[in-house]
Structure 1
Amino acid sequence: MSQAQNVGYARRLGVLDATMVVVGGIIGSGIFLNPSIVAQRTPGSGTTLLVWALGGLFALAGAFIYAELGARRPQAGGGYVYLREAYSPLVAFLFGWIMLLVNYSGSIAAVATTFAAYACRMAGLGAAWTKPVAVSAIVLLAGINYFGIRAGAIVQNILTLLKLLAVAAVVAAGLFFAGGAPPEAVIAPAAPMSLGSALLPVLFAYSGWFYINNIAGEIREPQRNIPRALVFGMIVCTGCYLLANYAYLHVLGHAGLAASTAPAAELMRRAFGPGGETVISAGIAISTFGFCNIAILGGARVFQVMGADGVFFRAVARIEPRYRSPDVALFILAGWAAVLAYVGGYGQLLDFSTVGDWIGSAMVAAALFYYRRHEGSEPVFRSPLYPFLPLFFIGAVAFVVISSAIAKPWETLVGLGLIAAGVPVYFAWQRFGNRDGATPGSTG
């Protein structure tokens, strides 16, 4: 029996740690940089806030669904495990395939590059340093997580607390120090509102709650703590997003927010001068660094389970016996993300992967119907408003996919092609790569 089978994960995280993972996986750079996009696509301040509130309801629905799934299957792997059990090993493999090839790795590369840009600017380094700093950040975080979930969680707790302080600084500056928007700044843009286009950046800003399910095998009392962390973490993030947008609108006005390319920096500059802009730049750097930590920590667990299932390199199934970390999976994910960050081709890859990411989310939500139908035992936590809540979530995801396909038909077709390319890879792996005859699901 392999070492990966002898050594398992250790449940070392409490509810506070798990909540910090949820918050850290959601709040990145988007709330500091992108609210202007939503303002551009809405006719007024009230509608802008309404769209952010609707996004929060959608995300909360997803959190409730993932909370029950995590309570039913409190083990590493998250969505990969649910898809494997509810559908087939092939469907689960395609999910993991697109996550490794593009989604997790590309997100890490993109956000690490954003971190590096802000860090280099504050340190007075030229643009030539951005890629080396981004790669170094990815390698550093992989090294920290090698020492186990406790080390990664300690770093994450600190970074998440600091990013929450950064959001609080924006809200306080907007409400108490920067003054109100001038009258001429509240004129609504002439373009009519498109709900789909306005919701897209909001839903992307709210995504990321699922990382907690990837590390469910390392959370104490998971049937209780996973739901608590997901629901409480989502409420915290929704509150932060609504307050931050209210602060932007209060200071910049709707038209001013729509015209701004960096609303948080502009708000802090109005409140505190150049020093305020420096503070929020540091906050954005910290926030993006924290997201990279979550993506590396959570993503590696998915690939470790794939290795244990025999649908990826068997060496990736290894769990380091002393620190209980998926060391090989960590360095494969971080290595590929570092390559993407250095080459710089992740942006278009992420555009291509959007459709697969959302389709995977809908299928994971639909897996709840499978578990409710086939399992007699009841989890500690049950998602409320069943079956309406998962139907609402799936319908909202379908709306996002259709809106994305209409807006970017070429990227959608290429994204579907990337998913389809995983089918021959899966069957080739079954024939040539899985030499020990492991059955998917037999070791996970």
Structure 2
Amino acid sequence: MGRHMKKGKSYGLMTTIAMIVGVVIGSGIYFKVDDILNYAGGNVGLGMLIIALGSFAIVFGSLSISELAVRHSEAGGIFYYYAHYIHPGLATALGLFTSYVYMPTVIAVITWVGAVFTLGGKSSLEAQTLLAAFYLIVLTLLNIYSKWLAGFFQSLSTLIKVIPLLAIAIVSFFWKAEFPEAPAITPIPVGWGWLSGLMPLYFAYDGWTVVASIAPEIKNPKKNLARAFIFGPMVILVLYLLFFYGLNQILGPDYILMVGNDAVVHATELIYGKFISKILLLAIIIAVLGVSNGMLLGTMRLPQAFASLGWIDNPKFAKIDLKYQLSVPASLSVSAVTLFWLGVHYLVSKWNLLPGSDISEITIVFNNLSYVFLYLIVFGLYRKGEVQNKLTGIISPILAIFAAFILLLGGLLTNFKNVSLFLIFCLLFCLAAFAYYQKNLKRKREG
């Protein structure tokens, strides 16, 4: 998300790569392995291919958007590009969608995952949802009333989030023990259904659009941005492949599919025993909640930014509280909506309305489709001669657009009816937000 940053070039290539890796790696990979494996029919090689395809799609998306980030490094944020190149109404529509649908659904599901890891997979959905709500309220209060503590928690979670990945990945190369007992259910015939594995995978890769907000701080951005957004996703890809392969080497596909989200807990117990496993589990919980905290921190500031630009007609949202350095009403509105989406997630899970998926994955699909506007902008700049690099100006946008529609196809293959209905809801929300912008604009002109 676009956030205001201090002027001055302070990040070199290695720091930029580390930042991308730090933002993207979070909770997704810890609880999406079984979903990816399920869509791959228990075929580990096919699961690894899905992970690789997802990373390449993100490389091409990043390279495309880097052209816009370099040109508008002081403006910050992908919403500025929509407003500058297409229409402020589109920026408002997608900005409000991000603030009140896309990010809140992702935050709600990630926080719920933190609660699942805290209570264990055998706990009730009701208990998990209540604990997730408690976590969300605590994180909200931290981000509004104790920024120092929220910042400390964010730094701590960033430092430890890779430890559980490596703790499993490295050991797996030397692991010779038999797989734990599980009913033989693989291989499972999946046909083209393996494409649906890109949905949970994109959850694990979400956050890569950080390119738009860190551009102002990068030394020699024309050269280093392109390099960072090739090497950054490659580092993430290697870590994810090692973890995915390692977990399958230790537990076996059948056992992972049997225990689901608890697979990482079972693996650490098997390798390190219960005591060390609990320490690693605590590291995973902190990493997961750290992702929730970071996303909440950024999203809470979006409505205030949009109100200050005049995209939202709300003086209370636009006004920054000098004591807390943010708009308290705008921040609380994001948290309230996130709690609402947590309730929706509970109902969807309770009634199994999206088997093998969740509400956040569908908003991620819709959000990735919205990036097609950005890719078309870059392609248009290439045709005008403003972008001269063929890789970033034509090859990357075309492949990124192709990847966005493959992700849409994968989403529809999971549950055509319910996914279609939710995607239509996302579209209607954006259309309503666009109408809201037009109404505000008309009122200002008449006033």
Indicate whether the TM-score tops 0.5: yes
Per the alignment, in what secondary structure is the counterpart of residue 63 of structure 2?
A: helix
Equivalent residue number for residue 101 of structure 1 = 100
Give CA deviations for 1:325-370 in whole Å, capped at 9, x if unaligned: 6666444323432454467658665365354222112223222223
The corresponding residue for 1:5 is: none
Give yes or no for the alignment of 1:138 onto 2:148.
no
- The aligned runs of 1:330-345 (5 Å cut-off) are 330-341=331-342
Paired with 1:346 and 1:146, the residues of 2 have a C-alpha distance of 33
Q: CA deviation at 1:240?
A: 0.9
Q: Retained in 1: the 8 A contact 2:48–2:241?
A: yes
Q: Residue 378 of structure 2 contacts residue 387 of structure 2 at CA under 8 Å; is this kept in 1?
A: no
Query: 1:65, 1:383 within 8 Å by CA — same for their partners in 2?
Result: no
1:271 aligns with 2:281: no
Q: What per-residue deviation string (whole Å, max 9, x for no partner) do you get for residues 403-432 of structure 1? A: 323433333234223322443443344434
Deviation at 1:220, TM superposition (A): 5.2
Q: Is residue 285 from structure 1 mapped to residue 285 from structure 2 by the alignment? A: yes
Question: 1:247 matched to which residue of 2?
Answer: 246
> Which sections of structure 2, spanning at least 5 residues, go unmatched?
349-357
| 1:387 is aligned to 2:383 | no
Q: 1:117 to 1:304 in 2, by over 3 A?
A: same
Distance 1:305 1:371 in 2: 27
Contact 1:25 1:209 (C-alpha < 8 Å) held by counterparts: yes
Q: Which string of whole-angstrom CA distances, capped at 9 and with x for unpartnered residues, describes residues 204-258 of structure 1? A: 32222113524656x3548366555544432221111011012112212333333
Structure 1 segment 8-23 matched on structure 2, within 5 A = 9-11=5-7, 14=11, 19=17, 21-23=19-21
Question: Which stretch has the larger CA shift, 110-119 or 264-273?
Answer: 110-119
Q: Distance in 2 between matches of 1:29 and 1:315?
A: 34
Number of residues paired by the alignment?
A: 423
Report if the CA contact (8 A) 1:146-1:330 is conserved.
no
Q: 2:134 corresponds to which letter in structure 1?
A: V
Counterpart Cα distance in 1 of 2:273 and 2:131: 26
Would the aligned equivalents of 2:165 and 2:239 in 1 still touch at CA under 8 Å? yes
Q: Contact 1:118–1:285 at 8 Å: present in 2 too?
A: yes
Distance 2:162 2:39 in 1: 27
Are 1:405 and 2:415 an aligned pair? no
CA distance in structure 2 between the aligned counterparts of 1:152 and 1:227, rounded to whole angstroms: 32
What is the TM-score when the length of structure 2 is the normalising length?
0.79
Partner of 2:63: 64
Question: What secondary structure is seen at the aligned counterpart in 2 of 1:310?
Answer: coil
CA contact 1:109–1:134 (8 Å) conserved in 2: no
Match of 2:439?
431
Q: Do the aligned residues in 2 keep the contact of 1:174 with 1:267 (CA within 8 Å)?
A: no
When structure 1 is superposed on structure 2, of 325-334 and 154-163 the one drifting more is 325-334
Instruction: Measure, in 2, the Cα distance between the counterparts of 1:238 and 1:310.
Output: 40
| Deviation string, structure 1 residues 380-408 (Cα, Å, up to 9, x no partner) | xx683541221111111111112323433
2:36 matched residue in structure 1: 38
Amino acid at match of 2:238: G
Distance 1:375 1:298, change over 3 A: farther
Please, which moves more after superposition, 427-436 or 233-242? 427-436
Contact 2:247 2:264 in 1 (8 A): yes
SS of the residue corresponding to residue 176 of structure 1 reads coil
2:358 counterpart of 1:357 = no
Deviation at 1:143, TM superposition (A): 2.8
Aligned-pair CA distance for 1:77: 5.2
Q: CA deviation at 1:167?
A: 1.1
Gaps of 5+ in 1: 1-7, 439-444
CA distance in structure 1 between the aligned counterparts of 2:335 and 2:16, rounded to whole angstroms: 22
Q: CA RMSD in A?
A: 3.9
- For 2:168, give the aligned amino acid: V
Matched to 1:391, the amino acid is I
User: Is it true that 1:211 corresponds to 2:210 in the alignment?
Assistant: yes
| Equivalent pair of 2:50/2:195 in contact (CA under 8 Å) | no
Give, as a single letter, the amino acid of the residue that structure 2 aligns with 1:389. Answer: S
1:17 deviates by: 6.5
User: Conserved in 2, the CA contact under 8 Å of 1:38 and 1:48?
Assistant: yes
Distance 1:21 1:325 in 2: 24
Decide whether aligned partners of structure 1 residues 258 and 228 sit closer, same or farther in structure 2, where only a CA change above 3 A counts: same
CA drift at 1:34: 1.9
Q: Structure 1 residues 226, 205: closer, same or farther in 2, change over 3 A?
A: same
CA contact (8 A) 2:40 2:47 kept: yes
**Which amino acid in structure 2 is aligned with residue 292 of structure 1?**
S
CA distance in 1 between partners of 2:234 and 2:327 (Å): 31
1:158 corresponds to which residue? Answer: 156
* Percent identity of paired positions between Structure 1 and Structure 2: 20
